[in-house]
Every structure is written in structure tokens, then in C-alpha cells.
Amino acid sequence: MISPTPPIASVIPSVSPEAAIPLRTELRDISKRFGATQAVDSVSLDLRSGEVHALVGENGAGKSTLVKVLAGIYAPDSGSIFLDGQRMVIRGPANARQLGIAVVHQEPSLFPDLSVAENVFLGHQPSGRFGSIAWGSMRTAARRLFEELDVRLDVASPVRGLSMADQQLVEIAKALSVEARVLILDEPTASLSAHEVDRLFAIARQARERGVAVLFVNHRLEEVFELSDRVTVLRDGRRVITADTSDLTTADLVRHMVGRDVTMFPKVATTAGEVLLEARDLTRSDAFMNVSFSVRAGEILGFAGLVGAGRTEIARVLFGIDRADSGEIRLAGQPVRFDSPAAALSNGVAYVPEDRHQEGLVLDFSIASNVSLPILPRLFPRLFVHRETERRLAADYAERLSVRSTGVDQLVGALSGGNQQKVLIAKWLATKPRVLILDEPTRGIDIGAKAEVHRIIADLAASGLAIILISSELPEVLAMSDRILVMHEGRITAELARADATEEQVMFAATGQQAHGDRPTAPVPTVD
Amino acid sequence: MNRVAGLLGRQREASLAAVMVVLGAFVATQAPQFLSASNLSQVTVLASIIAIAAVGEAMVVITRNVDLSVESTIGLVAFLVANALKTHALSTPEAMAAGIGLGLLLGMINGVLVAGFHVPAIVATLGTLSIYRGVDFLLAGGHQVTLGDLPPGYTDPAIASVFGIPLFVLIAIAVVGTTAVVLRQTRFGRQVYAVGSNPVAAATAGIRSGLVVFVVFALCGLLAGLAGVLWGIEFGTINATAANGLVLQVIAAVVVGGVAIFGGSGTVVGAALGALFLALISNALILLDLSQFWLQAIFGGVILAAVSADAALLRRLQRTMAENRSR
């Protein structure tokens, strides 16, 4: 049973009636598109002075894009921004700051070699005579700021070496160092301890009392209920609802966050064979804890969860890029320990990484050269590369995966995202793996290509590969997987059989709520 | 699209060759002695030595590294080979082989520093640039080995030719040809480009990039050693400052030859042509009686023009790719 704490009224009795609160900041019909993806689609949002407004949604719902539009990092394709009724064009992050919009970004973006005080006042250092930096008053001001935040930090020491949490606090101090009318907290609690979260909430409440509009972007629904006055839910780049938080339940929120059309993926019927890969109590500090699972031949094991839940980190350990601190990996029953990707490859484990451009492909190599790269020694044991062999091999895989190109000599960098993804999969298939780990295999590719990639994955499972599918898209995991593991902050919080899994349950587990594992249809209780 | 990329790759070689023909024709009309056998042979022999060093440097640069120590290697090898011959410590073939071996050893030291200890290449080889040169000074002191100290006929190969082509030019062609085949036709060559083009993807594909980088530095040292031996034969008189400042010409040749300074693309043929091009230009400027100042300025201007052209071409290529992708 989840009972959301009714927030506001008890905490701040002085909240004035709605009509009296001026609309301070308003986003009207904001749209932003990246390539084939409509990241934000005609979203309107008003932020009132003296409220904490929560912005929630799944990965890829458009939260970050919207925040970046308000912070002046992205210019919207269409739509407008009004400050106190005045239409404004935000011309960049510095301009946003001048207009009183302060942002605490998800990932601290500080200068590690500058001192804490310098970081806080970067760009608006107090100046002394002849425009020089008034170091003394800068440090004093920084010290006062941290006192207000009730944080003990040496403002003269460099940021390098501070913990993630302390860096986050420096970010917050930086945001508060300017007189802000809007304070954006973009998933600020991800790296904070419970005590620090409390302190952050106290700060947010203080800001609210001073009349600041606080935009609180978060995955953790209990925190949304604890802190926010109103909440806006985004899904697939569109606004689903804006409501007073006290009018909603956790179940309502989850239902608004999910609930997409699931019919676009092919269902697969596979008969699982023997256990091929097994992990027991795998732990890597700061990444994941006591993770155990197994995957069978012909089975697709889905890993669901939010970004940063530790799924990619597990994949990297399975593939020998990183090493686990403790725990055991068994391949076809035999304990294995890979200390390099080459070792994993020769044992039949392949990993299609999340980031096509950074980790996956050599963009200025041809399709053929990319496909052969992991198997050069196997393909050409005698030192010399035989181009015709390589081209034939690549052409074979390109045809099976229906890669659209002018031929296997075409540079990979010139292909569309979907075709690049297919080349990437081809490259790892050419290693003839027994276990294939796919990390976000359909991110950033268009719907048609997505369906093709899904078909390919289903075919591969049917041909007897054990497949681990990491995906942040709920409908994809639900439609493709035989079993689903849900991760939250480095731990497996739920294991769901395909027949039992619903988007609500996965989202519950992924946001750290209790999963209602025994209720397949998830009629989540309402508290009213 | 494919053609554009192919052109970008091959274009530098073709355009360099074309510019050299035009330049040569122009200089020949202004200063007829340009086409004399002795002038052409002098220009190409010097260019050959730099081209050999540039081939090694090009491989290093393709892997996103740089070797600043080549000139010290050339100088140290040139001196020690000459000195060994002067003191009759080694026979001529032994001394030459030892010189090339020493180059290999010095290159391997660079390779260990960069690939083994992860010292950034520019820092590691800046260090060995000084150290190798320091050793040279230590051993040579203020002395020099002169022509008279060397075995009779030792410097003859510098002016020897086969079917009218200077011997050094043939050696350079053999080096360039072999290396080009290694880079284009072998597994190792493929790995060199992969490591330079996308180190993370190369590692994920199971390539041991550290080993690749080590081998490339070792080969660069080996070729610098060969260049050092040839340098000694060409000049005859060697002291501790031999080949001082040469690394700038070597890197200039690599860059002008179309090797991307951030790694991943370029050919050794281009680097060798770059060396020839720079040698032609300085020869032309001398024949046209331009002052030393102009020589330096035009040299610099050529390098800037080549790199800017690269940047502009790359931007256009990336734009074309991006447009293709968004379709």
C-alpha cells in the first residue's frame, strides 16, 4: 500500500490562494525535434511563484529537453516563453541566468581544478578595483552561501576530489548564488544520501517561501509527493497532465507515465534451452550489488530500469570491459573470468554497446571493415587482409539484416542511424556469439528501423542465441522479453515473467516502489 | 558519398603531385638549372631521408600520437655509426645494422612510455627528444667525425644511382611501398587505423591498442634509425647537432601529406610526397633567389594551407554525411 503524503499545506501554511499567485514563468506550445525524434511536442507548462512543480516521466519522455529549453541550452523549434507575461527569447545559458533561471543539472558540470568558491561564482565573480576579482569577498560570499545551506565545505579547496554529493551541493550553491526566480532541479537526488536529500528539500522549501518557482525533475515518486505542490507528467514528448499533487496517487502518476501503444512489436515464441550464461551475486562498487540471474539459449532476458540503474555496468562486466569486485559468472556451467573484450569474444559473448558512435562503430571505415574488425585474427590468420573475403562476409550479414546502403564499401558514417545499428549488430553477429548482449539497440532510430531491429532480435533468439536486452523503453522490453529483470539503483528489484509483466509493475520497481508482482493486471490501489 | 570519401583520401596525393608538376614547370622557366641532374638528385636524396622518417611519423600520427624524438634519434644514430667507423669498432655493414637497431631500441623506449606507462605521446617524446640529444652531446662532446675519418668510399652511395635514379630514392620508394602494403593489406594495418579512428570501438572489438601503439613507435624508431644511417652517408661530417630541428620538417611533411593530425586517416604515400613537396619548395626558393625569411614564411604558409584545406574538406564531408543520415 502506498499512501502519498499530502504535502504543502502542513509544511507551509502561508501559501496564498491560487488566484493571487502571479504566473511567473510560462512555456507555451514548446516543440523541439532531433533528427527523427520529436523530443518535445507542443508542451505548455506554467511555473508559479512560490510553488514546487514536479516534472515526471519515463526516460525519453522529454523532461531533459524541456529543462534545457528553459535553461537556454536548446532553442525551441516553435513555441514561446513568457516571463511575467513578457514574451522572451532566451539566447543561451548566460542569458537564462541573467533572466533569473538557475539550473542544477543532473550531472555536476564543474571545473575540477578551480576552487569551490570560483566554481560557485564562475561568470559573475564579485569584482574589486579595476575589474579584478575580489577574491576575499568571493570567498566570504561563498562561505555564507554554504552556511545558509548548512553545509561544511572548504570553499578554497579545489573541486577535484569532492564526492559526487558534495559536487552536487556546489552546483546547488552555484544556482542559488544568483537571485533566481526559477530554480530548476534536474534529478538532483540521484547521488545524494538520505540526509543530503533532506537538506536539499529544506533548501527547495526555503526557496519556495522566498517566492521562487522551483521546477523539480525526478524519477523518485515518493520524493515528488513529499516535496511538490503540482506535478506535470510527460510521455513521448507530450504533456499528459498537470495537476495538484495532492489530487493524485502514486498509481495515478505511474499510469500517466506509461500506457503506450504496445502493438508495434512482434511477439516471439521461443523454446528456452539450457542455461548459457549465469551470474551469481555479482557486485561492482558504485555500480551494482548482488546481482544474480541466468539466461537460456533461445531466451530473451530483458533488463528494464531507469538510466543509471546499473544495467550497462553489468553488461560491461559480462563483456570483460570492467571487472566485478565479487561474484561469479558462469558460461555454459563453467566459471569464467574475462579480463578483456577479446577474451569474452573468443568465448562467444558479444556486446552491442549503447553508444553507436563512441563505442560501437568506426565511422570512417567501410561497412565491410567494420563488420570484420572484431574477427580479423579469425578471418585472416595469415597476417594479410583479403578484401574479397571480408566483403563477401559483410555482404552476407548486410543482406540478412537488410542494411540499406550503396554497397559494403560505403562508409558507415554515411548511413542512417537505423542502418548503422544494423551494421553494429552485424559486426557482433559475425563473431558467431552464443550470448548476445544488446544495450539500447533501438535508441535514436526511426520506427520502421526499430521494427526491423526487433524482428532481427526475435530471429536471433529463435536461432538459439541467449539474448540479454537492455532497454529503457518499457513497451520494447515488455514485448520482446521472455523474462524481465527490473533494476533500481544497482539492485534487481523485480523479476517478472512475460505473462505477468505490465508497464505499471515495471515502472513501480524501476522507481524503487514495491512491485506488485502478484497482480498481473495491476489495479493499483487508490488512496482517496 | 563513397566517392567523396575516397577522393578525400586520395585527393591529397593527386593534388600534391599536380602542384609539384606545376611548381616544377614554373621554376624551370625561371631557373633552368632546376632541371639539371645534379640539382634534381640533390633535392630528391634529401627528400628521401626525410620521407623515410615521415613514413614512421605518419604511422604514429595515425594512431593519435606523435613522435617528437625522431630528429634526436637520427642525430644520435648518425653520430654513433660514424664514430664506430672512425674508431674501427665495427665494420661498415655492422655499423649500419647497429644504427638501425639502435633506432628500433629508441623507438621501443618511446613505445613503452606511451603504451605502457600511459604518458601522453607529446610529453613522452618531448622528454626523449631532449634525452636522446643529451646522450648525443655527452658522447660526442665538442668533437665531430669528418669525411676523412670514415672508410674510403663510405659516402659514395649518396651519389650512386641505378638506371639514373638515385639509390636513396629507391630505398625510400621501397620503404614507402612496404609500409603502404602493411597498412593497407594486413591485419596490423587495419588495427592501426581502427585505434586512431575510434580507440573505444577498437578496444570493444578486442583489439589490444596498447600493443598496436607500441609497435608503431618501435617502427617509427627503426625508420628514424635508417634515416640516421643515410644521413651520415649523405653528409659525411657529423657532430652532436646533426639533424637538429629536423622534426618540424618531418611533421610538416606528414601534415602536408594529408595525414590527419588527430589520427585515423592518411597514407604513408601522402607523407612521402609531402616530404618531396617541401624539399622542392625550399629548393625552388633558393634557386629563385628568395631570402631565408621568405623560405620560412612560405614553408609555414604551405603547412597552414594544407591543414586548413583538410579542415574545410572534413567539414564538408561531415555535413554531407549528416544530411545523408537525416534522410
In a domain, A221, yes or no: yes
Domain shared by A420 and A409, yes or no: yes
Distance, first Cα to last Cα, chain B: 14
Residue in B186, B264, B321 closest to A414 by CB: B321
Distance CA B161, CA B14 (A): 27
- Output the CA torsion sign for A436, A440, A445, A448: positive
Closest-CA distance of chain A to residue B87, Å: 42
Classify residue A341 by burial, with Cβ atoms within 10 Å: 0-12, 13-18, 19+. buried
Q: What is the mean pLDDT of chain A?
A: 83
- Give contacts of B201 with chain A, Cβ < 8 Å: 358-362, 373
Check: CB of residue A351 under 8 Å from CB of residue A315.
yes
- Give contacts of B209 with chain A, Cβ < 8 Å: none
Check: CB of residue A327 under 8 Å from CB of residue A279.
yes
**CA-to-CA separations, A66 to A33, A204, A285, in angstroms, rounded:** 11, 20, 33
pLDDT of residue A515: 44
For the domain that residue A214 is a member of, what is the CATH number? 3.40.50.300
CA-nearest residue of chain A to B8?
A364
- Give contacts of B2 with chain A, Cβ < 8 Å: 406-407, 409-411, 414
Which residue type occupies B178?
T
- Any idea where the domains of chain B sit in the sequence? 38-311
Of all residues in chain A, the percent with pLDDT exceeding 90 is 33
Of residues A260 and B157, more confidence is placed in B157
Look up the CATH architecture of domain B38-311: Orthogonal Bundle (1.10)
Closest-CA distance of chain A to residue B323, Å: 9
Distance CA A149, CA A147 (A): 5
Residue in A353, A361, A376 closest to B187 by CB: A376
Nearest to A516 by CA among A51, A525, A234: A525
Number of domains in chain A: 3
Looking at the DSSP bridge assignments, the partners of residue A275 are: A296
Domain shared by A100 and A183, yes or no: yes
Per-residue pLDDT band at A262 (split at 50, 70, 90):
very low
Residue in B5, B187, B202 closest to A377 by CB: B187
| Count of Cβ atoms closer than 10 Å to residue A422 Cβ | 27
pLDDT of residue A367: 94
pLDDT of residue A242: 93
pLDDT over threshold 70, residue A438: yes
Which of A381, A415, A432 is the last residue in one of the domains?
A432
| Count of Cβ atoms closer than 10 Å to residue A323 Cβ | 11
What confidence tens digit (pLDDT) does each residue in A10-44 have? Answer: 333 333 334 344 557 889 999 998 766 788 999 99
Distance CA B283, CA A509 (A): 75
Alpha-helical (H) ranges within A306-406 are 311-318, 341-346, 367-372, 376-379, 387-400
In a domain, A11, yes or no: no
Q: Among A199-203, A390-394, B4-8, B33-37, whose mean pLDDT is lowest?
A: B4-8
pLDDT of residue B286: 86
**What is the per-residue DSSP string for B40-54?**
HHHHHHHHHHHHHHH
Record: contact A385-B197, CB cut-off 8 A: no
Looking at the DSSP bridge assignments, the partners of residue A234 are: A239
pLDDT over threshold 90, residue A435: yes
pLDDT of residue A392: 94
Residue in B189, B197, B325 closest to A417 by CB: B325
pLDDT over threshold 90, residue A230: yes
Residue in B2, B191, B204 closest to A341 by CB: B204
Check: CB of residue A43 under 8 Å from CB of residue A234.
yes
pLDDT over threshold 60, residue A263: no
Ranges of residues in chain B with a pLDDT under 70 are 1-10, 318, 320-327
Record: contact A340-B206, CB cut-off 8 A: yes
Which of A432, A455, A476 is the last residue in one of the domains?
A432
**What is the per-residue DSSP string for B66-94?**
--TTHHHHHHHHHHHHHHHHHTTSS-HHH
Domain shared by A102 and A77, yes or no: yes
Domain shared by A437 and A343, yes or no: yes
Record: contact B187-A384, CB cut-off 8 A: yes
ipTM of the complex: 0.82
Pairing of strands A435-439, A466-470: parallel
Contacting A with CB below 8 Å, chain B residues are 1-2, 5, 185-191, 193-194, 197-198, 200-208, 264-265, 318, 320-321, 324-327
Name the grid cell of B311: 579542415
DSSP-derived letter for residue A411 is B
Domain shared by A518 and A453, yes or no: yes
pLDDT of residue B66: 96
CA-nearest residue of chain A to B199?
A359
Model pTM score? 0.77
Per-residue pLDDT band at A519 (split at 50, 70, 90):
very low
A89 is in which domain, residue-wise?
A: 23-111+163-257
pLDDT of residue A1: 40
Angle B7-B10-B11 from CA coordinates, rounded to 5°: 65
Domain shared by A98 and A241, yes or no: yes
Task: Tell me the count of A-B CB pairs closer than 8 A.
Answer: 98
In a domain, A149, yes or no: no
- Give contacts of A35 with chain B, Cβ < 8 Å: 325-326
Distance CA B196, CA B123 (A): 18
In a domain, A322, yes or no: yes
Alpha-helical (H) ranges within chain B are 2-30, 37-62, 70-86, 92-111, 121-140, 167-185, 187-197, 199-204, 209-235, 246-256, 268-287, 292-326
CA-nearest residue of chain B to A409?
B2
Check: CB of residue B131 under 8 Å from CB of residue B220.
no
Q: How far is CA A35 from the centre of its chain?
A: 19
Residue in A361, A372, A374 closest to B206 by CB: A374
Per-residue pLDDT band at A272 (split at 50, 70, 90):
confident
Domain shared by A202 and A77, yes or no: yes
Which residue type occupies B189?
G
Mutate to test the interface with A, among B3, B182, B187, B204 (most CBs of A within 10 A): B204
* H or E element, residue A41: strand A37-48
Of residues A224 and B216, more confidence is placed in B216
In a domain, A14, yes or no: no
Of all residues in chain A, the percent with pLDDT exceeding 70 is 88
What confidence tens digit (pLDDT) does each residue in A50-95 have? Answer: 899 999 887 778 888 899 999 898 999 999 998 888 888 888 888 8
Distance CA A91, CA A96 (A): 7
pLDDT over threshold 50, residue A520: no
In a domain, A122, yes or no: no
CA-nearest residue of chain A to B263?
A364
Distance CA A119, CA A104 (A): 13
Record: contact A361-B189, CB cut-off 8 A: no
Domain shared by A181 and A193, yes or no: yes
Mutate to test the interface with B, among A321, A345, A373 (most CBs of B within 10 A): A373
Rounded-to-10 torsion of CA B237, B243, B245, B250: 140
Mutate to test the interface with B, among A351, A355, A411 (most CBs of B within 10 A): A411
Record: contact B191-A409, CB cut-off 8 A: no
* H or E element, residue B325: helix B292-326
Record: contact B326-A35, CB cut-off 8 A: yes
Check: CB of residue A1 under 8 Å from CB of residue A525.
yes
Domain shared by A281 and A340, yes or no: yes
A435 three-class SS: strand
Of residues A474 and A496, more confidence is placed in A496
What confidence tens digit (pLDDT) does each residue in A130-166 have? Answer: 777 778 888 888 998 888 777 788 888 898 888 777 8
pLDDT of residue A511: 81
pLDDT of residue A252: 83
Q: Among A244-253, A376-385, A500-509, A513-522, whose mean pLDDT is lowest?
A: A513-522
Domain shared by A380 and A461, yes or no: no
Residue position matching grid coordinates 669528418: B146
Closest-CA distance of chain A to residue B130, Å: 30
A229 three-class SS: coil
- Give contacts of A417 with chain B, Cβ < 8 Å: 325
**CA-to-CA separations, B7 to A48, A438, B1, in angstroms, rounded:** 58, 35, 10
The packing angle between helices B268-287 and B37-62, to 10°, is 140
Record: contact B194-A406, CB cut-off 8 A: no
What confidence tens digit (pLDDT) does each residue in B19-62 have? Answer: 889 989 998 998 889 989 889 999 999 999 999 999 999 999 99
Which of A417, A432, A447 is the last residue in one of the domains?
A432
